[in-house]
Amino acid sequence: MKMANKLIIRRMDAVTRQDAEIAAALATYMYVITRIAAPDGMKLGEIIRSVDAGEDKVKKSAAYIAFRSVVLKYPDLMMNLVLYKQSHIMEGEMKNARAAAFTAAGRAYVAYRGTYDLEWTDNGIGLFERSTRLQRLAADYFDRVAQELSFNDGMRITVCGHSKGGNKAQFVTLGSQYANLIDRCWSFDGQGFSPEAIKYYKKSLGSAEYHKRIAKMVSVCGENDYVNPLGVKIIPSGNTYYLSTPEAALERFLSNHIMENLWEKGEDGYTGSLNSETASASLCRFSRKLSKSIMRLPVDERQGVALTVTQLIENIDGEKVSKEESKSTKEMVNAMTKAVPGVFSTAFLTVEGRRLILGYADVFADAKNRQKGMKKKDKGFWQKVLLWLRNAGIHFVLSIISLILAVPVAIVWGVGAIRRWIGSFDKSKALKEESVN
């Protein structure tokens, strides 16, 4: 473990990195599993030979190439893993589990896919409910597979997934019937949980068992991933690693949450290794601060913000949410106003917010230089001085904006607190009147 600019860089030992790369490869495979359409019972080595010999474009996809490079790096550990229980070819509701199992002698992996169409709302529900439909389905899938494939204490059982898949893997480790059989949970860029969920599991499992289960979890995230900080993170900080993502960039926002960008690329393509460890970067830290401000909201306000944001994401993707989950424009505007104080205070009053703004200022400056045909080059002494002055100027402007916004932000928070106090007073008064009657 090393310190860089007061930020901790945790490094994996050789055994941990090997386990991480195998789990990450299976999590990556889940993004192409339906395109490859291999039947249950096929070994990974056979799948690779079949895809490589075929004409399907999937063999040129980044996810497949990254997955393939890891299998070839660890042939003794991965070639003979057998694919089983693919949820998309199962019957009924289990089809929506987005999961698959991989087994070999004495080992088994259960991998979950990241967010699929119309699943963003389920992500939002996970920020204020104890559990969601798809989390429970993930646990049901694991329990069914554990029974049908005869998982036992003599096997090494691993669950893994990216993004929503990482959150499902964590949930399975906490709440499935056969969670006691799980040895390791790998969450790649997976989000956290609601305070309500954590409170429930601490109480239902007991403090000792709860901490025993979260100690099995490991979080591996891109340095600027903005999803893993969402909700309340339950994975211990000592089990959290951040990886450099040179293929991602601030100006390509979504690229900071793509599984393939966790993989190292050399001159000849993917090397089969995850990128090197680093510290969390500005976008990730900003997301963490913003999430904390939202998670501090009362549950009803948090629900409104979470469902509004996820509905907007679904609409941008061209998907339609159900009537029960959809919100009117008025409800959406009202919900977002509850989040405004947290957004502004995080952006302007925290170090993380200011560093992110400075990062985007650099992006804007580099884009302007490219438009002018100027090539990026090492900065000389006076250029560095001008850059320092520019950043100092931005900090000064942000300080002025912070002072201007401090009053309305305080008013909004104050009014919200008074409304909640009046609401709780009226509720307690109504309950007393009911008890008297």
| Pairing state between β 182-188 and 156-162 | parallel
Domains in the chain, CATH or no CATH each:
2-281 (3.40.50), 289-424 (no CATH)
3-class SS at 311? helix
pLDDT in tens, 215-238: 999 999 999 998 999 999 999 999
HEC-encoded secondary structure of 191-202: CCECHHHHHHHH
Specify which residues 409 forms β-bridges with.
none
3 state DSSP class of 422: helix
Query: Other C-beta atoms within 10 Å of 337: how many?
Result: 14
- Tokens found for residue 257: 């949450």
Give the CA radius of gyration of the chain: 24
295, two tokens? 């998670």
Residue 103: which H helix or E strand, with range? strand 99-104
Provide DSSP, 347-397: HHHSHHHHHHHHHHHHHHHHHHHHHTTPPP----HHHHHHHHHHHHHHHHH
pLDDT tens sequence for the chain (437 residues)? 555 446 789 999 999 999 999 999 999 999 999 999 999 999 999 999 999 998 888 999 999 999 999 999 999 999 999 999 999 999 999 999 999 999 999 999 999 999 887 788 888 899 999 999 999 999 999 999 999 999 999 999 999 999 999 999 999 999 999 999 999 999 999 999 999 999 999 999 999 999 999 999 999 999 999 899 999 999 999 999 999 998 877 667 778 889 999 999 998 899 999 999 999 988 888 888 888 878 888 888 788 877 777 776 665 544 454 444 555 555 545 544 555 555 555 554 555 555 555 554 554 444 444 444 444 455 566 666 666 666 566 555 555 555 555 555 556 556 666 766 666 665 565 555 555 55
Q: How far is CA 261 from CA 20, 129, 350, in A?
A: 15, 31, 28
Kindly state the helix (H) or strand (E) to which residue 101 belongs, with its residue range: strand 99-104
For 45, the token pair is: 């080595």
Inter-residue contact 227 to 297 (CB < 8 Å): no
Percent of the chain with pLDDT over 90: 56
CB within 8 A of 52, min separation 6: which ones?
Answer: 59, 68
CA distance 48 to 45: 5
SS3 246: coil
The reported pLDDT for the residue numbered 29 is: 97
Sign of the alpha-carbon torsion through 195, 240, 245, 168: negative
Three-class DSSP category at 109: strand
